[in-house]
Amino acid sequence: MCGIFACHCHPNVQKFKPTALKMGKAVRHRGPDWSGNWIANNTILVHERLSIVGVDSGAQPLVNDDQTVSLAVNGEIYNHRILRKSLKTPYNFKTHSDCEVIIPLYLEHDLDTPRHLDGMFSWVLHDKKQDRVIAARDPIGITSFYMGRSSTTPSAVYFASELKCLHPVCDNIISFPPGHVYDSKTDKLTRYFDPKWLVEPTNIPATPVDYKALRSTLENSVRKRLMAEVPYGVLLSGGLDSSLVASIAQRETLRMNELAKRRAQANGANGVNGYEPDGHASGHLVGIDDSNELATVQILPQLNSFSIGLPGAPDALAAQEVANFLGTKHHTFTFTIEDGLNALSDVIFHLESYDVTTIRASTPMFLLSRKIKALGIKMVLSGEGSDEIFGGYLYFHAAPNKAAFHQETIRRVQNLHLADCLRANKSTSAWGVEARVPFLDRAFLNVAMNIDPSEKMITKDRIEKYILRKAFDTSDEPDTKPYLPDKILWRQKEQFSDGVGYGWIDALKDNAELHVTDEMMKNPKPEWGNDTPDSKEAYWYRCMFDEHFPSYCASTVMRWTPTWSKQTDPSGRAISIHNQKYDEKK
């Protein structure tokens, strides 16, 4: 991840520059590798860089030859090599960065530029000739992005990766909507990501499930996300989603290593194409080519996998079993309840949310990310998005019909930028680590969200996410190595905040009781309006949020609530089907 801050049409941009640099510094944790800024007309772009692709030459903001177009990007463009080849007008690329291609794309496609991008991104581009700013966010909102205005500079518009560098200069802030592009010419946000499944939620798909397509598109998605020039790993909770991602990544790593060895042998020397006798990479992977293969194949170090939990946590035990099966270099970290409680205020500061579910799950992920960074890893693959796409949360058991099931999956996917994507992005970027999420690949979404939702529904004979499990079940393919052990492939859903150890949520509730009295619950703060906490735990988090952010920032926060359920606690354990299923195993 990187961090960006931008202001367009400031009345005195030179005077504002020191403040802009200070606002950029507020997100330096996202991009600790380098800082840059660019001023043109009355616009300033500030960039804090985490270098993963184009490490030696990708410093930002990026600028074209005649210095008329400047660009600040947070993200990864997986199809940048294909896009470079498709340009109608030759362009002088100054870097190997995957993001630089956005400039010539803009010169050719104007507002349609984000439609051509396959990746995760938030960016601000300034056209000096037109004194125009274009800003865009990826289709699902994997990268965090905000837009603000100030009553003291009404002509200006501000953009940033996080709230913390907007609220000191803005008094009106929104979460930049995913799949949209902003044009200062019209001062309007326009949707560019408009697949039928998203914009017509009442149109219920009728396409039968194609298990081969599900498998192959997810494999391609993971393959794209191995584009990196730095050490990477996988977050492995031991649940279905992260285990599948780890399995595919390990297969791809082994496949690429074998291919590189063959190429080296064909060239008659171990030193060709990055292969060295000790098995470490000397070169790098630079992108995806036309056949959806990594364009430069190198020998890669052993794939690292990471898990965290309280001692004896269900997820940590399952993760170790998966790692042993796959042969990854696994790192199991434990944390204490005190570690988690001590980190809460920092977690809320980085998350910029007071949602109970998000904070519960983010705290162990925040602690794990710090450990990962200490090991020199800068990029990890993660399993977010699957539960939203396939209705994997346990409350989906109560879906009344396939139309309601489908519409709830759409609602969940639409809100990911305020929930699990926000958690994954900000928990990792707090320590300068980038999280990539293969389940939210545009091509995979197109396949998965167009399946007849009756195929996804949970029945007596079908566990949650049945079709995803079935797609990777090789029991009737004798020549195919299993992706996962059966007990993992068919393991019941365990929400991350539960799976790290049941004592974690219990401790949070107990500590909330110590900090929040019954009297406080009866008298919420007036500035909270109708958004009043419904539990002492929620009240406690909201108070910590208020210590960091002014009240108007609360409009960017969404509280996670399950549908078809009267429960007030969002934990998977609070749903009766969880206990019922575990009782059946005893």
**394-445 pLDDT, tens digit each:** 899 999 999 999 999 999 999 999 999 999 999 999 999 999 999 999 999 9
Question: What is the amino acid identity at position 513?
Answer: E
Kind and range of the H or E element at 578? helix 576-585
Q: Is the pLDDT of residue 277 over 60?
A: no
Which segment of 115-129, 246-260, 484-498, 513-527 scores lowest on mean pLDDT?
484-498
Give the containing element (helix H, strand E) for 356.
helix 356-374
For residues 42 and 90, is the Cβ–Cβ distance under 8 A? no
Residues 303-329 have pLDDT tens digits of 999 999 998 888 888 999 999 999 999
Mean pLDDT of 488-494: 81
pTM, 2 dp: 0.93
Q: Is the pLDDT of residue 392 over 90?
A: yes
Q: What's residue 282's pLDDT?
A: 33
Q: Which two tokens stand for residue 501?
A: 């150890």
Q: In which band, very low, low, confident or very high, does the pLDDT at 568 lie, cut at 50, 70 and 90? A: low
Question: Could you tell me the pLDDT band of residue 586, with boundaries at 50, 70 and 90?
Answer: very low
Specify the pLDDT at position 227.
Answer: 87
User: Average pLDDT of the chain?
Assistant: 91
Least confident of 62-76, 441-455, 464-478, 564-578: 564-578
Let me know if 421 is a catalytic residue: no
User: How many distinct helices (H) and strands (E) make up the chain?
Assistant: 20, 17
Q: What's the pLDDT at 585?
A: 41
Binned at pLDDT 50, 70 and 90, residue 571 comes out as low
pLDDT grade for 498, boundaries at 50, 70 and 90: low
- Write out the two tokens for 368: 């794990």
Cβ neighbours, 10 Å, residue 177: 18
Pairwise CA distance, residues 296 & 273, whole Å: 8
- Fold equal for 3-194 and 218-585: no
235 is in an annotated binding site: yes
Q: What is the pLDDT of residues 438-481, one digit of tens each?
A: 999 999 999 999 999 999 999 999 999 999 999 999 999 999 99
pLDDT category at 59 given cuts 50, 70, 90 is: confident
Task: Please check if 77 is assigned to a binding site.
Answer: no
* CA–CA separation, 556 and 65 (whole Å): 38
Q: What is the 3-state secondary structure (H, E, C) of 401-421?
A: CHHHHHHHHHHHHHCHHHCHH
Distance CA 467, CA 531 (A): 38
What is the average pLDDT across 193-210?
A: 97
Check residue 56 and give its pLDDT: 75
Count of residues making up the chain: 586
Residue 374: other Cβ atoms inside 10 A:
9
Contact indicator for 245, 381 with CB cutoff of 8 Å: yes
pLDDT band at 499 (very low <50, low <70, confident <90, very high): low
In angstroms, what CA-CA distances link 244 with 30, 234, 381?
Answer: 27, 10, 11
**462 contact partners, CB below 8 Å, separation of at least 6:** none
* Annotated domain spans of the chain: 3-194, 218-585
The confidence score (pLDDT) of residue 209 equals 98
Pairing outcome for strands 69-77 and 119-127: antiparallel
Taking 90 as the threshold, does the pLDDT of residue 50 lie above it?
A: no
CATH numeric code, 218-585 = 3.40.50.620
Which has the minimum average pLDDT: 34-43, 143-152, 567-576?
Answer: 567-576
Read off the pLDDT of each residue in 225-229 and give the average, rounded to a whole number.
88
- What pairing do the DSSP bridges indicate for beta strands 379-381 and 434-436? parallel
pLDDT band at 493 (very low <50, low <70, confident <90, very high): low
Task: Say yes or no to pLDDT of 189 above 70.
Answer: yes
Q: How far apart, in whole angstroms, are the C-alpha atoms of residue 16 and residue 422?
A: 29
Cα 115 from Cα 117, distance rounded (Å): 6
Whole-angstrom CA distances from 426 to 362, 421, 434, 436 are 9, 8, 9, 12
Q: How far is CA 274 from CA 142, 328, 473, in A?
A: 32, 21, 35
Please give the share of the chain, as a percent, with pLDDT higher than 90. Answer: 80
| 392 is known to lie in a ligand binding site | no
Chain position carrying tokens 């507020």: 26
Query: Average of pLDDT values for 78-104?
Result: 95
Given 2, 7, 99, 421, which residue is catalytic? Answer: 2
Query: pLDDT confidence of 271, banded at 50, 70, 90?
Result: very low
| Peptide bond just before 478 cis, omega within 30 deg | no
**What is the CA angle 298-303-309, rounded to 5?**
160
pLDDT > 90? residue 18: yes
pLDDT above 50 (res 112): yes
| pLDDT(283) > 70 | no
Residue that wins the pLDDT comparison between 384 and 227: 384
Q: How far apart are CA 75 and CA 421, in angstroms?
A: 13
Q: In this structure, which topology does domain 3-194 adopt according to CATH? A: Glutamine Phosphoribosylpyrophosphate, subunit 1, domain 1 (3.60.20)
Contacts of 67 (CB under 8 A, 6+ apart): 40, 128
383 in a known ligand binding site: yes
Answer whether 64's CB lies under 8 Å from 103's CB: yes
pLDDT for res 284: 47
